Structure 1
Amino acid sequence: MSARIGVFVIAAALALYIVLVGQRAVLLLMSGDVVGTLMGVALVVLPLIAAWGLGRELWFGVRAEQLARRLEAEGAVPTEEVAVRPSGRVLREDGDAIFPAYRRAAEENPDDWRAWYRLGLAYDAAGDRRRAREAVRRAIRLESGERKASSGA
């Protein structure tokens, strides 16, 4: 729950930034000055990029959480016992030890979103956040395709 609060606080701060920069952009666009107008255009583009990035990351979080709940409901969440730090993060050595089995499962079942999601969890436990996000994004794409195929779309 504290992660959700953190996400909400950061999203709210970014939304406030977008609004404030947007207001400045309007003022600069209305200035009539060539340099002010160019800066106003730049300040319109930057908040749009920020809003797109915020939306993309929030949607990623929602979809990842949906897959986690579905995996849990199916009883397919990894059950290995691993040591954790006081912060709750898995000790890297334990993450590295369980990682090969999940990588092998994803390689053997490249179209299984569950294998890719579990691989994302293993990457995260091993301390590789970038690859963890890539694996979870792939799981989201595969699950979306599976859902569309089963609904006949």
Structure 2
Amino acid sequence: MTTVQSSARKTLVLAAVLTAGVALHLVLLAGRAVALLRSGEPVGVALGAGVLILPVLGAWMVVSTWLSGIRVARLTQRLAAEGGLPDVSDLPRRPSGRVEPDAADAYFAERKAEVEASPRDWRAWYRVAHAYDLAGDRRRAREAMKRAVALEAEERAGR
């Protein structure tokens, strides 16, 4: 098993454990909501209805997060099979393990140029998402990865 596979397996186990914890919390919260709804008191019913929204929203967030993770994992596997995963092992790092900011910026500039040269290539968007992540811009990393997922889905549908 490679280091990447081992890391992915550990991440999957951690995600499953955290999901189980959240699911338990949502079930307990839903139980409280039902108890409030059954109270028959106007305030209890109103609070119960409000509290019942939280587990529904929580379940939607958990499902959408898992679906997103599955889609990104599919892209990662496909890119790995093609030998196109980003390799940043040669970039200088801080003692914390984070890539030096100047190196991350230079790496990002290269990935951005790839996207500008091939704006419909999901692989370029995947790599620019990785570059955003290295630079610490998680919001843009998520946006770029969503773009990569959408482009890859279009590519698969076009086959």
TM-score normalised to structure 2 length: 0.86
- The aligned residue for residue 7 of structure 1 is 15
The DSSP-based 3-state class of the residue aligned with 1:116 is helix
**Distance (Å, rounded) in 2 between the aligned partners of 1:19 and 1:71:** 38
Distance 1:86 1:60, change over 3 A: farther
**Distance (Å, rounded) in 2 between the aligned partners of 1:13 and 1:91:** 35
User: Shift of the alpha carbon at 1:4?
Assistant: 2.1
- The aligned residue for residue 83 of structure 2 is 75
**Distance (Å, rounded) in 2 between the aligned partners of 1:86 and 1:58:** 32
14, 20, 28: which one aligns with 1:20? 28
**Distance (Å, rounded) in 2 between the aligned partners of 1:117 and 1:56:** 19
- CA deviation string 1:123-152 (max 9, x = no partner): 1111111111111111011111111121xx
- The aligned residue for residue 5 of structure 2 is none
For structure 1, the 5+ residue unaligned runs are none
8 A Cα contact 1:29 1:36, kept in partner: yes
8 A Cα contact 1:120 1:136, kept in partner: yes
8 A Cα contact 1:82 1:94, kept in partner: yes
Residue 152 (structure 2) pairs with residue 143 (structure 1): yes
User: Shift of the alpha carbon at 1:61?
Assistant: 1.1
1:28 counterpart letter in structure 2? L
Residue 141 (structure 2) pairs with residue 114 (structure 1): no
- The aligned residue for residue 102 of structure 2 is 93
8 A Cα contact 1:92 1:127, kept in partner: no
Distance 1:7 1:84, change over 3 A: farther
Measured on the aligned residues, the alpha-carbon RMSD in Å equals: 1.6
TM-score normalised to structure 1 length: 0.90
- CA deviation string 1:66-106 (max 9, x = no partner): 10111011111223421345665433332112110111111
1:75 counterpart letter in structure 2? G
For structure 2, the 5+ residue unaligned runs are 1-8
Q: Which moved more, 1:71-80 or 1:88-97?
A: 88-97
Distance 1:135 1:99, change over 3 A: same
